[in-house]
Amino acid sequence: MEDAQNMPEAETVFRMYYPTEVSTLNYLTTNTYNETYISANTIDCLIDYDSYGNVMPALAESWEYNADMTEWTFHIRQGVNWVDYQGNIYDEVTADDWVASAEYVNHAKHQSDIQYMYTSGSVVHGAQEYYDYTSWLISDQNPRGGEKNQNAPEQETPVEIRPEDIGVKAIDDYTLVYTLDQPCPFFLSVLSYPSYMPVSRKFLEETGDMFGRDHKNILYNGAFTLSVWLPQEKQILTKNPSYWDAEHVYLDRVEREYNFDAYHVQGSMFLENKIDYAQISFEELDNWMSNPETQKLVHPNRPNNSYSYFYTFNFDPQFDQAYEPDNWKLAVSNENFRRALLSAINKEELLKLYNPYHYEYLINNTITPKEFTFADGTDYTEYPALQNIKDNYNIQTAQACRDKAIEELTEAGASFPIKVLMPYNPSILNWETECRLVKKQLEDTLGTDFINITIEAGPESGFLASIRRSGKYAFMKCNWGADYADPLTYTEPFKAGNDYIFWDQNQNADIQELFRTWSQKVSQASAVYDDDQKRYTLFSEAELLLIDHAIVSPFAIETEGHIVSKLNPFDSEYASIGIVMQRLKYCKLGNTSFSMEEYETAYQQWQQERQANLK
């Protein structure tokens, strides 16, 4: 009999299904959740986060910035290696790997979907200029770019912008400097996006157009390597034997099996102990909760406040005459009309569609979610302007505002009922049902002689481009995902030139004045970089203006429904931006799944510990 002391330890393997295959492994061009799951676990960034949301050193051991936060210097960890899919060492990670990444992402020929992160909020010097110049290089207007398009408008030859003009420099192998065009106190928070991940210049040159085509044509420096990738069959992530922080990687392997029907079958597979994680579909949830044996395994996913949902209006309608766009313009410019509609929405009833057992986790009463960002230990939503905001659902208020709106709009020449076009994407689960509930709430409260709501299905693909961005709606639920950890990110949908609510295009004097006031407040807040408390105070006052004047009604944060999982959701890294919450580093495999009660206890403990930790 073999000595038990000499027996090899059993590997810790985390098993799950995935329903959609990745289309690329080129992490410098894609930002889809399905594809960043791979890069989040195989490529490390300059910084990382702990389980409470604190920034931690990763491939940068330390950093500093100049007085106005326009120059950030990072000191790269020495001895970190790039490895191939089999774990063989290829080369050392150096500062030039981030320079190569910036040049790649900002060259237009690579068509990176995440190039915008170099110019969104934090503006890396020369990045957009280089992108624009390379766009010209490959365009019809460049004599060297191919056959000239005779129908294209003439353009002046732009000033040449070289790769070295981008404000990302390697001073030596272990010193990296980013130069920005404006002060940026939140710059660290953009560094966990794939567009700021490093890449080996030598490997890029070797692989050329094959880079990211499969798991053999990328390198890894993170907790895992993608050791096996058989498209539409399986993905296997294997612990990186050369990982610099291997002591905090508790899973030896992550086995992901492709199953196009994963959403509906993974629950039963979990019960058969074939996988260790499963989302429980809305259709199955009641059955799980009514069975004493399965009930004790189900719990919510950790709240995801990286997305904010809100109901809002289109102030410059471009929809068909059948929906009376001119009449809508009159109505939407009237604050009492907007307030009447927003006060009649019962969030709790709507959110029970998505989480009937813990809908309160999802309710959001501010545009910027709670626990998204802090200054001086205080949650942004607890700053004076926002701390007393409550759910604005109130039938009496809605009806009183309706009566005032009828009087004011009649004098302005509007006709009743006001036609309200409310589209939805039929591919998104429960959105149609939600729209029907909203229609019932509004028409029951305000009367069909006041409003006439038309629910209309938009296209399943290209919905945003054909509906919201084209202004072909009157009233709709929208969302915004944070790009960085600062309140500035949640002002983006409302800025001039936005393709959300188009209020900057509205000619009504009241709306114009409101837009000017809000814009000035945002500009004032954006200019403050050395006093977080003042910055957050000004941003919160701008946000209050949007809510107080019924431009938007905050609704909910993202929901991932209910799950069964052998991982403790509070072990993993936490941040409301980037790809941090997809990482499996720090995760430990348990024997069973949390119950609702166990989850609630752990969640409350995590919140208390996080508050104390951040302060």
Nearest to 308 by CA among 552, 84, 75: 552
Please report where in the chains the tokens 């709709």 appear, as a residue. Answer: 476
- Give the pLDDT score at 155: 60
**Cis ω before 417 (30° cut-off from 0):** yes
- Give the pLDDT score at 610: 87
Q: What is the amino acid identity at position 119?
A: T
Could you give the strand order of the β-sheet that contains 552-558, starting from the edge strand earlier in sequence? 475-481, 304-313, 552-558
- Give the pLDDT score at 148: 41
Task: Report residue 551 as tokens.
Answer: 């431009």
- Give the pLDDT score at 2: 44
Residues 6+ away with beta carbon under 8 Å from 445: 344, 395, 398, 399
296-349 pLDDT per residue, tens: 999 988 878 889 999 999 999 999 999 999 999 999 999 999 999 999 999 999
> Alpha-carbon distance 114 to 32, whole Å?
10
What three-state secondary structure class fits 413?
Answer: coil
- Name the burial class of residue 198, with classes exposed (0-12), middle (13-18) and buried (19+) by CB atoms within 10 angstroms of its CB: buried
Task: Report residue 134 as tokens.
Answer: 């390379």
pTM for the model stands at 0.90
Task: Report residue 412 as tokens.
Answer: 């302005």
Distances (CA, A) of 332 to 159, 336, 405, 496: 45, 9, 10, 18
Residue 91 sits at φ, ψ, to 5 deg, of -170, 170
For domain 304-558, the question of CATH label 3.40.190.170 is answered with no
Task: Report residue 471 as tokens.
Answer: 């202004």
Positions in the chain short of pLDDT 70: 1-9, 140-155, 615
Q: Give kind and range of the element (H or E) at residue 227.
A: strand 224-230
**Angle at alpha carbon of residue 306, lines to 300 and 312, rounded to 5°:** 105
In the chain, where are the structural domains located? 24-30+43-222, 304-558
Is the CB of residue 585 less than 8 Å from the CB of residue 45?
A: no
Task: Report residue 607 as tokens.
Answer: 């919140």
- Give the pLDDT score at 449: 98
Nearest to 311 by CA among 114, 481, 480: 480
DSSP, residue by residue, 492-521: GGGSTT-SSS-GGG---HHHHHHHHHHHHH
> Alpha-carbon distance 105 to 117, whole Å?
10
Residues 6+ away with beta carbon under 8 Å from 161: 126, 129, 130, 132, 133, 134
Q: Are strands 253-258 and 13-18 parallel, antiparallel or unpaired?
A: parallel
For domain 24-30+43-222, the question of CATH label 3.40.50.2300 is answered with no
Nearest to 75 by CA among 187, 175, 198, 196: 175
Nearest to 419 by CA among 503, 347, 505, 325: 325
What three-state secondary structure class fits 75?
Answer: strand
43-86 pLDDT per residue, tens: 999 999 999 999 999 999 999 999 999 999 999 999 999 999 99
Nearest to 159 by CA among 136, 125, 127, 182: 136
Nearest to 544 by CA among 572, 573, 521, 561: 521
Task: Report residue 260 as tokens.
Answer: 């196009």
Half-sphere exposure of 485 (CA within 13 A, CB side): 27
DSSP, residue by residue, 13-39: EEEEEESS--S---TTT---HHHHHHH
Half-sphere exposure of 131 (CA within 13 A, CB side): 21
Q: Give kind and range of the element (H or E) at residue 91.
A: strand 89-92
Residues 6+ away with beta carbon under 8 Å from 133: 158, 159, 160, 161
E-assigned strands of 281-337?
299-300, 304-313
Distances (CA, A) of 157 to 106, 107, 153, 271, 297: 19, 18, 13, 64, 64
